Amino acid sequence: MKLQLDRVIIRDVRFGATTAIHDGALHVDRSALQYLLLQDKRFAAVDIELAHPGEKCRITKVLDVIEPRAKTSEGDEDFPGAVGGQVPAGRGSTCVLEGAAVVLSDYREKVESGRSMDPNGEIIDMSGPGAEAGRYGKTHNVVLLPTPAEGVNTHEYLAASKIAGLMAAAYLARAGKGMTPDRTETLELPSLMATDKALAGLPRVVYIFQILTTQFDPIPGEPVLYGMNVPGMVPTLLHPNEVIDGALTSPLPALNVQTYQVQNHPIIKELYARHGKDLFFAGVIASTAPNNMAEIERMSNMAATMARYVVGAQGAILTKTGGGAPELTMARTAQRCERLGIRTTLAVLHMAADVRGEVTLFSMPEVDAIVSLGVPFTRVTLPAVERVIGRQHAVPGAPPIDGEIVRTENGVRGIHCQLGSSRIRAVKY
Amino acid sequence: MIRVALYLNQFFGGVGGEDKADLAPRLTEEIVGPAKAFRAALGDRGEVVATVICGDNYFAENIEGASKEVKELLAPYRPDLLFAGPVFNAGRYGIACGAVCKMAQTDLKIPAITGMYRENPGVDLYRKDVYIVETGDTARSMADVVKRMTTLAWKLLAGDKMGNPADEGYFSRGWLTNEASEKTGAERAVDMLLHKLRGEPFESEVPRPAYDRVKPAPAIKDLRSATIALVTDGGLVPKGNPDKIEVTAATRFGIYDITDKDRLDPNGYDVNHGGYDSVLVRQDPNRLVPVDVMRELEKKGVIGTLHNRFYSTTGLACIVEVMKKIGQAIAEDLKREGVSGVLLTST
């Protein structure tokens, strides 16, 4: 399967009469985009704002971040199943607006009780330490602020918002169609049956990608894999091109993994870079983190069996999603792989870290190669801003959200990444 | 000039061997034993103003009392810094040095450093509290160890950022800190896997934890006469969270009365936990703390009685040591109340 990514570099974003790219500046026709998104009757309104790197601006209640991408090859569809029709992702060509991002902000007036510990949710800062450390303070952001229609419940609102984000991402990237890209990237892997001499001696490496956790209630109707939410999914073999080309999104609440990171998946990127030199990239096994032991065992055994006896892998990289609990499924899967003779390496953001003691929830002798992606609970002080995009909720005893605030790093979208895109690692002192 | 205090055992203090192990702490202003090496390492920046010498058994038999005695001997000298040992592989001496350093930090409010061999029991007991320089198992390397302890001391006194354990040569104190690495996590993960696949040496960035094994208590012989209590880490609290249990990294737990209650009323309770979807529990708290079912079992005589109070804390991103203490405190209360068994519900 062969995919060509045509990268158009975006250096500015502004509102304009028509949506188009001029000299690296993305012009956005605000009312056309609003009109498009309001076709979804689950919204009463969709406000759109722009945020620029360096601006003293804070975006609140960020749900997800998506890179603008549109298919440019004949017969292909954007985000198949979620926005476009059901066709395979990962082939043909795709226009990528590099340096731009669609930011989804929860714009409901009422604060949802439940998971979030701060009513202003996870934020993005466009300048200062939050922007330096985070990925999305460096992108030119088109922020969507959808207001739910009367009677729309939380799940419906969140599913609709995710779809709106994907639609906007495809809409904006269509402006890059027909332009000469700044950079072109070709991603191609032979089939698993390939017998090229160059590949013969290389170890087969599979990536076991935990795409969702059922520790939080999955949102019905949220497009996760080809338009469907898939909490009951069994391990599924995917081509890496499908993952990065719109088949997959990061399910909400997207804890330390946004759809943007999936589209720019750092492990897939690295395995591609080493393919044909150090290893044979033998595909992606998408799996989930169930919330009970029987299903964890089932998932782990199925994934390890698929890796060993279907893919024929000698090595596997594993990552996790969600909070602390999914560590167990990742570790159990690695252990099952090791017992079948597959060498494994895990990457862990220490969501379950006891900063004064142990770093992982599991302790298995076979699971002996772990990369640290850092502790998400380190505090960061963020200076006051001049402008806030998104809802602002007052918290008794806390400074207003446009003032100087203190957040744990995982409260700022894009500082940490459970897929390994950051350089942060935790060291024990 | 930095005023330095030193702690030594009877052997290194030159008083005697095992026969003097019961010696009570005594103070000297003279330069004895390792004090000479410290004097050399300190140069003209510091001087050893007082040395306390204490027998190993005396200290080991009464750690708290002996620490206090050492403190009282040293306080009048107003030291700026304390060194203990170095210990090498002497077990009781290691525990004493760890305790004295901890005392110096908390009571005298000064930096304190000791040095030990990795297998010394003092390392595991005190590494989280104090800087322990790693040494060999014999005193042959005394001069070198003293030099390294002194280097670390200058850093602590200056308030400089401490280097990482491997570079500075001390035992990790267990503090997790984020640092920037040259490569991304993804690049390091693929590197590590390739080393492993090639049979080359590799180093995990995360050591394997050594979790305690908990031996289950013997089974209850006769449930019909047993008192059963309900305990949860699912964060169920009465409305308003009266005990102010933290939503993450909890340090508190609550005990809540259920006398005469056949079931928990959803209007009376809240869930103070962000690590799971708590909608169902908010709708019916009995599904987390099953008072309704337990009352039925009580009426039917399947169990003797349901203990009239339930225990609750929030198990989310917690510190193991703190949770151990919470567990012990709950267990002590249960024991005091004559509870024979617990139904522990987690989320």
Give dist(CA A350, CA A195) in Å, integer. 40
Total number of domains constituting chain A: 2
**Whole-number Å distance between alpha carbons of A70 and B169:** 54
Question: Do A12 and A60 have their domain in common?
Answer: yes
A266 touches chain B (CB under 8 A): yes
Lowest mean pLDDT among A93-97, A213-217, A416-420: A213-217
Residue A303 lies in a domain: yes
- What CATH code is carried by the domain that includes residue B116? 3.40.50.2300
> What's CA B37's distance to the chain center, in Å?
32
Chosen from B132, B188, B190 to mutate, greatest number of chain A CBs within 10 A: B190
Does some domain include residue A414? no
**B161 lies in the same domain as B229:** no
Q: For residue A217, give how far its alpha carbon lies from the nearest alpha carbon of chain B (Å).
A: 6
Residue A387 located in a structural domain: no
Query: Quick count: other Cβ atoms within 10 Å of Cβ B58?
Result: 21
Q: Is residue B208 part of a domain?
A: no
The answer on pLDDT for A116 being more than 80 is no
pLDDT of residue B110: 95
Q: Given B178, B204, B320, which is nearest A426 (Cβ)?
A: B178
Residues B121 and B246 in one domain: no
A-interface mutation test, from B203, B205, B212, most A Cβ less than 10 A away: B205
Per residue in A299-335, pLDDT tens? 999 999 999 999 999 999 999 999 888 999 999 999 9
Chain B residues whose beta carbon lies within 8 Å of the beta carbon of residue A368 = 204, 208
- HEC states along A54-94? CCCEEECCEEEEECCEEECCCCCCCCECCCECCCCCCCEEE
Chunked into runs of 10 residues, chain B (347 residues) has average pLDDT values of 95 92 94 94 94 95 94 96 94 94 96 94 91 92 94 92 87 87 98 98 87 86 95 95 88 95 95 84 95 97 96 87 90 95 92
Q: Which of B202, B247, B319 lies nearest to residue A357, judging by beta carbons?
A: B319
Query: So what's the pLDDT on residue A113?
Result: 57
Q: Within this chain, do residues B16 and B128 fall inside the same structural domain, yes or no?
A: yes
Residue A249 lies in a domain: yes
Say yes or no: A231 and A162 in one domain.
no
Interface of A with B in 318-357 (CB under 8 A): 323-325, 343-348, 350-357
Q: Which residue has the higher pLDDT, A396 or A404?
A: A404
Segment among A173-182, A346-355, B96-105 with least mean pLDDT: A346-355
User: Based on the structure, what is the number of domains in chain B?
Assistant: 2
Percent of chain A with pLDDT over 70: 97
Strand pairing report for A315-319 and A343-348: parallel
pLDDT score for B247: 84
Clarify whether residues B241 and B110 are in a common domain.
no
The CATH number of residue A229's host domain is 3.40.50
Tell whether B175 is covered by a domain: no
Same domain? For A314 and A232 the reply is: yes
Among the candidates B125, B147, B168, a domain finishes at B168
Is some CB atom of chain A closer than 8 A to the CB atom of B118? no
Average pLDDT over residues A7-17: 98
The whole-number average pLDDT for the span A282-293 is 96
In this structure, the answer to whether residues B127 and B250 fall within a common structural domain is no
> Quick check: B202 contacting A, CB < 8 Å?
yes
| pLDDT value of position A149 | 98
Q: Which of A270, A284, A335, A424 to mutate to test the interface with B (most CBs of B within 10 A)?
A: A270
Check whether residue A89 and residue A167 sit in a common domain: yes
Whether A169 and A216 share a structural domain: no
Average pLDDT of chain A is: 94
Inside any domain, residue A57: yes
Residue A410 domain flag: no
Q: Identify whether residues A119 and A206 lie together within a single domain.
A: no
DSSP A7-52: EEE--EEEE-SS-EEETTEEEE-HHHHHHHHTTSTTEEEEEEEEE-
Higher pLDDT among residues A195 and B7, named by residue: B7
**Does A397 map to a domain?**
no
Structure tokens belonging to residue A247: 């088949």
User: What is the predicted pLDDT for the residue at A360?
Assistant: 83
* Across A148-163, average pLDDT: 96
Q: Do residues A33 and A65 share a domain?
A: yes
Containing structural domain, residue A287? 189-378
* Residue B209 or A354, more confident: B209
Answer yes or no: do B243 and B130 share one domain.
Answer: no
- Asked if residue A199 and residue A175 are part of one domain, the reply reads no
> CB contact, 8 Å: B321 with chain A?
yes
Which pLDDT belongs to residue A428? 83
Domain identity same for B9 and B155: yes
Residue B121 lies in a domain: yes
DSSP annotation of B243: T
Q: Are residues B318 and B251 in the same domain?
A: yes
For residue A339, what are its two tokens?
A: 């017992």
Q: Give the residue numbers spanning the domain of B135.
A: 2-168
Rounded-to-integer distance, Cα A153 and Cα A42, Å = 9
Q: Are residues A208 and A149 in the same domain?
A: no
Give the residue from A226, A260, A264, A261 showing the smallest Cα distance to A67: A260
Q: What is the pLDDT of residue A117?
A: 66
Chain A hits for B180, Cβ within 8 Å: 423-425
- Give a yes or no: residue B79 inside a domain: yes
Would you say the ipTM is above 0.90? yes
- Both B150 and B37 in one domain: the answer is yes
On whether both B135 and B39 belong to a single domain, the answer is yes
**A237-279 tens-digit pLDDT:** 999 999 999 999 999 999 999 999 999 999 999 999 999 999 9
* Rounded distance between C-alpha atoms, residue B266 and residue B279, angstroms: 11
